[in-house]
Structure 1
Amino acid sequence: MDILEAIILGIIQGLTEFLPVSSSGHLELAKEILGVTIEKNKNITFTVVLHFATALSTLIIFRKEVLEILKGLFQFKWNEEFKFSLKIIISMIPAVVVGLLFKEELESFFDGKILLVGCMLLLTALLLLFADKAKETNKKVSFWNSIIIGISQAIAMLPGISRSGATISTSVLLGIDRTRAARFSFLMVVPLIFGAIGKDVVSDDLSFQSSDLLPFSVGFFAAFLAGLIACKLMISLVKKSKLSYFSIYCAIVGSIAIGYALLN
């Protein structure tokens, strides 16, 4: 992987982590198109670097909300901040369980499975279309809602299903206010990302050499800057009920991916 490829992959990760078009699916497609081949452990390391960049951009955009969550956790009072913090924790449980129990099975899907990516992108398109037609409400996220949204996040671990698309769409279909849905969606993944990074760091799955420093660094900064832009953009678009645009995009890219996979 050269510098330009690292920048392109970083930008794709940063944009698609927040836009409902599947970051994992787009990374797999980009690697296939660019002909990028990275050995397994280095690929995991690069993925960790990119996810850390987007998690950092989330913390910056939602710094006030993150401080409220931390404050709520350590106050140990049954107030809104503490309840919101519990909902974030509850939403993480399905993805943690799936990630621990089916780690190898999930990793096998991230190996050029372009047909799978295409099919899952079509599913994402359908989900976004339904969510875009949902009526607007002022409903908050309940504890039961957080479990259902967490299940949708676990399902979105498959390449091609957008995590933000699945969680925001599920929230909107449950009748939750669109702004609250986007906020909850972006905040609920941050602890998971840092938890996964910590797990990979203490394991033997990571591989890094001095020659990787430059491409990994530019990939990190590309993902971080793109993530800042995409996060702000997505919040604005969700408020304006523009999910149908991404539904069309996912349907087009998914169809192209399926066609590509069947012809090769």
Structure 2
Amino acid sequence: MSDLLAALLLGIIEGITEFLPISSTGHLLIAERWLGARSELFNIAIQAGAIVAVVLIYRQRLWTMLLAFLGRTAPASAVGVASPALDTPAHARGYAWKLIAAFVTTAVLGLMVKALGWELPTQLRPIAWALVIGALWMLAAEYFAARRAASVGERAAITWTVAILVGIAQVVAGVFPGTSRSATTIFIALLAGTTSRVAATEFAFLVGIPTMFAATGYEFLSLVRHGQVGHEDWASLGVAFVAALVTAFVAVKWLLHYIQSHRFTPFAFYRIALGAALLWWLPVGS
């Protein structure tokens, strides 16, 4: 297989899996066993492509929150029916502050994890277990969230408690590859008080923008300091970046439409099937 084709496939895998609740890190580590491991800069680039896709999708929401900080009101078309929290400058500012609170929580706890010298596991067996255990968590969380929604009705508001817990959930997902950042944050939000799947998903995706940009920026600067960016295959990196951007854009747009009338249950079953297949196929110690 040519290097460009392998880069293209890895970019597509990143784009599809980054924001679906199935774990991009887990899928990339699995794929690299067959397509070849890539540099840290390559991994940063494809993740950046996926983030840019979400920025493009939510550009109007982001613009609304920026205008709110400047004391101006955004046009109604920039708010959207799925975001009543942004219908006034005061609401938009409050929503933005909750995003900031979630991000700061993640940043502080993430730096603590870094200081403790935590290294991400790269063996496939713990990732396979994380896929299965995460799927069981999704099924349980979906059940209890549905019961809560039935008893209290649909609530799209993001509380301060939800924001802080989402920030903590991002760190947990980062420490354990295979759990999925999107799955962990979405279901924490659903269990903590936001019964609307769309509202919980949008908050999880929006808080992922500063979080993932900060993480990729931190890693990129580290590579620059250590002189590890001079020997990159820029053609492969460019192909992978564009592939991740395009596929992430399509995947997120599809997911936002899908969850308006469907649950996340199929993703949980997929995770169980993939994790079980890996556990059956992998030799002990892999």
Same fold per superposition (TM over 0.5): yes
The answer for the alignment partner of 1:226 in structure 2 is 247
Aligned mates of 1:47, 1:114 — CA distance in 2 = 18
Report the CA distance shift for 1:45/1:105 in structure 2 as closer, same or farther (over 3 A). farther
**Counterpart amino acid of residue 242 in structure 1:** R
More displaced stretch, 189-198 vs 201-210: 201-210
Which amino acid in 1 is paired with 2:54? Answer: T
Q: 1:160 aligns with which of 178, 188, 192?
A: 178
Matched, 1:48 2:69: no
Instruction: Tell me which of 148, 151, 162 is aligned to 2:165.
Output: 148
Whether the 8 Å contact between 1:11 and 1:223 is mirrored in structure 2 is: yes
Q: Secondary structure at the match of 1:192?
A: helix
Partner of 1:130: 140
1:262 Cα deviation (Å)?
Answer: 3.6
1:109 and 2:120 aligned: yes
Cα RMSD, aligned residues only: 2.3
Aligned to 1:185: 204
Contact 2:156 2:200 in 1 (8 A): no
Name the structure 1 match of 2:60: 64
Is the 2:65–2:89 Cα contact (8 Å) retained in structure 1? no
Contact 1:178–1:238 under 8 Å retained in 2: yes
1:171 aligns with 189
| Shift of residue 205, structure 1, vs aligned partner | 5.0
Amino acid at match of 1:37: A
Q: Which secondary structure state, in structure 1, belongs to the residue aligned with residue 228 of structure 2?
A: coil
The number of aligned residues is: 258
TM-aligned CA deviation for residue 147 of structure 1 = 0.5
Q: TM (normalized to structure 1)? A: 0.89
Q: State the partner residue of 2:71.
A: 75
Q: Distance in 1 between matches of 2:234 and 2:50?
A: 18
Does structure 2 conserve the Cα–Cα contact (< 8 Å) formed by 1:20 and 1:162?
A: yes
| Pairing 1:254–2:275 present | yes
Distance 1:175 1:232 in 2: 24
Contact 2:99–2:207 (Cα < 8 Å) also in 1: yes
| Alignment correspondent of 2:76 | none
Q: Tell me the SS of whatever aligns to 1:250.
A: helix
TM-superposed CA distance for 1:78, in Å, is 7.9
What percent of counterpart residues are identical? Answer: 27
Quote how far apart the aligned CAs of 1:117 are: 0.5
User: Is residue 195 of structure 1 aligned with residue 214 of structure 2?
Assistant: yes
User: What is residue 213 of structure 1 aligned with on the other side?
Assistant: 234
- What is the CA distance between 1:156 and its match in structure 2? 0.7
**Cα distance change, pair 7–105 in 1 and its aligned pair in 2 (3 A):** farther
C-alpha distance 241-104 of structure 1, shift in aligned 2 (>3 A): farther
The worse-fitting range, judged by mean Cα deviation, of 70-79 and 149-158 is 70-79
Q: Give the counterpart of 2:259 among 238, 259, 262.
A: 238
- Residue-by-residue CA offset, 1:209-256 (whole Å, 9 max, x unaligned): 465111100100110011011101111222223310000000111112
Unaligned regions of 5+ residues in structure 2, if any? 73-87
- Could you tell me which residue of structure 2 aligns to residue 22 of structure 1? 23
How far did 1:131 drift?
Answer: 3.4
User: What does 1:83-98 align with in structure 2 at a 5 Å threshold?
Assistant: 83-98=94-109
Give me the whole-angstrom Cα distance separating, in 1, the residues matched to 2:107 and 2:131: 23
Give the letter aligned to residue 15 of structure 2: G
**C-alpha spacing 1:8/1:72, structure 2 compared with 1 (3 Å):** same
User: Does the CA-based 8 Å contact 1:200-1:206 persist in structure 2?
Assistant: no
Question: Secondary structure of 1:141's partner?
Answer: coil
Higher helix share: 1
Moved more, 128-137 or 142-151: 128-137
Shift of the alpha carbon at 1:110?
A: 4.6
What CA distance in whole angstroms lies between the structure 1 residues aligned with 2:71 and 2:121? 41
What are structure 1's unaligned runs of at least 5 residues? none
Secondary structure of the residue aligned to 1:239 is: coil
For residues 12-64 of structure 1, give each alpha carbon's deviation from its aligned partner in whole angstroms, at most 9, with x where no partner exists.
11010111000011101111233x133xxxx2211110111011100111111
- 107 and 9 in structure 1: CA distance in 2 versus 1, 3 angstrom threshold: farther
Compute the displacement of 1:175 (Å): 3.5
**Shift of residue 92, structure 1, vs aligned partner:** 1.3
Cα distance in 1 between the residues matched to 2:192 and 2:255: 19
